[in-house]
Amino acid sequence: MNQPGPVIFQGRRFNKWVKLGVPALGLGLFWFLNHEVPLLFTSLVISCGFYYMLNPVVDFLETRHLNRAVASIMVLIGITCVMYLIWLRFVAFGMDLRDRVDLDAFQKNMVNKVEGVMIWAQAKAPMLKRWIEPEIQVKEKPAAIKKTGKPSPVVEDVQSESIRRRVFLEEKLSGFLKKLVVEQGPELARTLAGLVPNLILIPYFTFFFLKDGRKFKKTIIAWIPNQYFEPALKFFYEIGRRMRSYLQSMLLDCTLVGLLVGVGSAMVGAPYPVVFGLIAFALNSIPLLGPLAYGVTCLAITIGAGKPSDVILGFIGVFFVSRICDDLIFVPTIYGKSHHMHPVLVICAVLLGESVAGIWGMFLAIPIISILFLGVGIIREISQGEEPVPLPSSASPPFA
Amino acid sequence: MPTSPNENGSPRVLAVARKLPVLSMLFRRLDPRQEEILSLLRRTSLFADLSESELIELLHLLHERTFVQGETIFSEGEPGLGLYVIFKGAVEIGKLDQGGRGRLAQLRSGDVFGEVSFLDGSGRSATATASVRTELIGFYRTELMDLLERKPVLASKILFSMARQMGTRMRAMLQMIQP
């Protein structure tokens, strides 16, 4: 009575539906789970990410004869301490910002800097004047001009132009800030409040993944029938290996960019260099939009804190250096070519992630898309089987 | 204070600490089934050189598989990933030849098979079938690769031991074919 042996997927016929079917199924499952059980889903996915990043540390502690549960607790306590220190740093930053920067001063500084840039740009490139001026001239003549007597037509023209520009900029900026605070503020607060349950669940899941991850994996794999066991094991192994490599690379990349921005900011004299480094570290994992977000945020804080122009230009320089280093050195060196995705696909994935799962979706979009592509690639590799190792022409039996 | 390793490979201080009721909670514990598998591994020539802590590390990488009587474990020519240690039961190794299936060997508890494909990833050189209901302990190449990255010393010890065993079998085979 012979049962069939391990089955290797039959190449071409299998590939046809796998190429489209697996990503579609994955995206559908992602959407369904996120729609039906968003809290559980995002917490589980992020915990998996932490598991892959922290597991080597727990493994190391376990080789030092520690119980895995104790090792997991130690690692989580360590991470919590680091997060607490970061939180303290942000609280100190917030308090400092509240004490030192009021909204009026921030607005005034911004208007000064933007006006300076406009004047400089108009002087250097007169064609820009036509582009900027019409929008300013449509505004009504401010009351301040009416009160200023009539010294001479030329002086009045210069003064009125300057005052009109300032009034225009102040109106624009205060409108933008009002919109940001009144409309986006509550939305942002709601989003942040929505993250609190995640922040409780993530350490909880991460602890059990770290403690019992191998058991979970072995239990799941144990259910696979004997004939599919070896291909399935290879599939899980490859997914795990590449996922771990991807997340660890991402962590290293974000750390390097954070350090670069932090150190660079300190060197050019920007305010809060540690906070700038942390913001860059946190946002750099979001492709394309993340760097833009940390660049704009840090630049706004630098301008709002009333720093002189050379510091602002210095920070812009630091930002560009960090981008050049990241795009040309860190990413190719750390990730390699295997994780390369087309920029159009990256931006689509990030925007799709944001619309499906909000802020977490932006962070998770690229890892999830990468896993789906990896899954397809691995199934294709397995389906094709390994090339048999040819015997070298010089192969001979051992003689001694 | 004695800190030198004992015969199991773990420092004596730790061995003493394991016996204290409160401290013992901090250290790894094995369930009876794992103890049973561990004792099998100690008796297996392939893993005989490993220390206690290395065997426990290896234990976490092994997979238990059960095959019913007559079920094929792997077939000749198929790509293979794993080597197996027979935990309970018996396995027949056979090879297809012109006259049908020829029986090469009958393996019992504690025997190891499948190491050729485990090492080179090429097709299985023979077919393995469970003679009775058989429980196997599988060690797969994916786990060895993982081990090579995390604990290269342990992985090297296993590979070295495997190479030695292959050498021994090769010598035996040469003696068989020499007139």
Confidence of residue A259 (pLDDT cuts 50, 70, 90): very high
CA distance A234 to chain B (A): 6
Is the CB of B174 less than 8 angstroms away from the CB of A237? no
Query: Å from B82 to nearest chain A CA?
Result: 8
- Which of B28, B74, B123 is closest, CB to CB, to A67? B28
- Which residues have CB under 8 Å from A380's CB, separation 6+? A15, A18, A19
| pLDDT band at residue A365 under the 50/70/90 scheme | confident
Please indicate if any CB of chain A lies within 8 Å of the CB of B70.
yes
Please answer yes or no on whether A398 and B151 come within 8 Å at the CB atom.
no
More confident residue, B100 or A39: A39
Task: Spell out the long-range contacts of A49-52 with Cβ–Cβ below 8 A and sequence spacing 24 or more.
Answer: A49/A247, A49/A367, A50/A202, A50/A206, A50/A209, A51/A206, A51/A209, A51/A210, A51/A213, A52/A240, A52/A243, A52/A244, A52/A247, A52/A248
Query: Above pLDDT 70, what percent of chain A?
Result: 68
Query: Looking at CA atoms only, how far is residue B27 from chain A in angstroms?
Result: 4
A30-34, A140-144, A168-172, B97-101: the lowest-pLDDT one? A140-144
Of residues A343 and B94, which shows the higher confidence score?
B94
- Of A61, A65, A67, which is closest to residue B51 (Cα–Cα)? A65
The whole-chain average pLDDT of chain A stands at 74
Interface of B with A in 86-125 (CB under 8 A): 120-123
pLDDT band at A2 (very low <50, low <70, confident <90, very high): very low
Query: What mean pLDDT, rounded, does chain B reach?
Result: 80
Is the CB of A63 less than 8 angstroms away from the CB of B151?
yes
In this complex, is the C-beta atom of B14 within 8 Å of any C-beta atom belonging to chain A? yes
Residue A15 has pLDDT above 70, yes or no: no
Residue A287 pLDDT level (bands cut at 50, 70, 90): confident
B91 or A286, higher pLDDT: B91
Please state the rounded mean pLDDT for residues B8-12: 54
Structure confidence by residue, pLDDT tens digits, A81-133:
888 888 887 777 777 766 665 666 667 777 777 777 777 776 766 666 655 55
Residues 6+ apart with CB under 8 A from A136: A164, A165, A168
The residue type of A12 is: R
* Full-model pTM: 0.66
B73 touches chain A (CB under 8 A): yes
**B63/A221 touch (CB, cutoff 8 Å), yes or no:** yes
Chain A: closest CA distance from residue B109 (Å): 20
Residue range B31-177, CATH number: 2.60.120.10
The domain segmentation of chain B, as residue ranges, is 1-29, 31-177
* Spatial contact of A289 and A362, defined as CB atoms under 8 Å apart: yes
- Which backbone phi and psi does B126 adopt, to 5 degrees? -155, 175
Mean predicted confidence (pLDDT) in B103-107:
83
Residue B71: which of A214, A222, A226 has the nearest Cβ?
A: A226
Q: Measured between beta carbons, which residues in chain A are less than 8 angstroms from residue B129?
A: 2
Greater model confidence, A349 or A282: A282
The pLDDT value recorded for residue A68 is 79
Percentage of chain A with pLDDT > 90? 5
Task: Report the pLDDT value the prediction gives residue B135, as an integer from 0 to 100.
Answer: 93
Is A8 in a helix, a strand, or coil? Answer: coil
* Chain A partners within 8 Å of B11 (Cβ): 65
Instruction: Give the ipTM.
Output: 0.75
Judged by CB atoms closer than 8 Å, whether chains meet at B81 and A230 is answered as yes
Helical ranges in chain A per DSSP H = 11-36, 38-63, 68-100, 103-124, 127-137, 143-147, 153-178, 185-194, 196-222, 226-268, 273-283, 289-304, 309-325, 331-334, 343-384
**Nearest residue in A to B147, CA atom:** A59
Alpha carbon of A270: minimum distance to chain B alpha carbons (Å): 42
Task: Report the chain B residue with the minimal C-alpha distance to residue A390.
Answer: B122
What is the pLDDT at residue B24? 60
Place of tokens 């933007």: A114
Q: What is the mean pLDDT of residues A289-316?
A: 84
**Calpha distance A249→A56 (Å, rounded):** 14
- pLDDT higher than threshold 70 for residue A143: no
Which run of H or of E encompasses A182?
none
- Residue A281, pLDDT > 80, answer yes
| pLDDT over 90 (residue A225) | no
| pLDDT surpassing 60 at residue B2 | no
**Is residue A356 scored above 90 in pLDDT?**
no
- Nearest-by-Cβ selection for B70 from A1, A70, A214: A1
- B 17-46: CB under 8 A from A: 25-29
> For residue A1, what pLDDT band results from cuts at 50, 70 and 90?
very low
Q: Which residue has the higher pLDDT, A314 or A247?
A: A314
**Are B92 and B129 a contacting pair, CB within 8 Å?**
yes
Q: Dihedrals φ, ψ of B8, to 5°?
A: -90, 0
Beta bridge partners of B113: B84
Q: With contact defined as beta carbons under 8 Å apart, do A277 and A297 qualify?
A: no
Are the C-beta atoms of residues B72 and A3 closer than 8 Å to each other? yes
Nearest CA-CA distance, residue A66 and chain B, Å: 5
- What pLDDT does residue A177 have? 67
Q: What is the pLDDT of residue A240?
A: 80
Q: Do A398 and B167 touch (CB under 8 A)?
A: yes
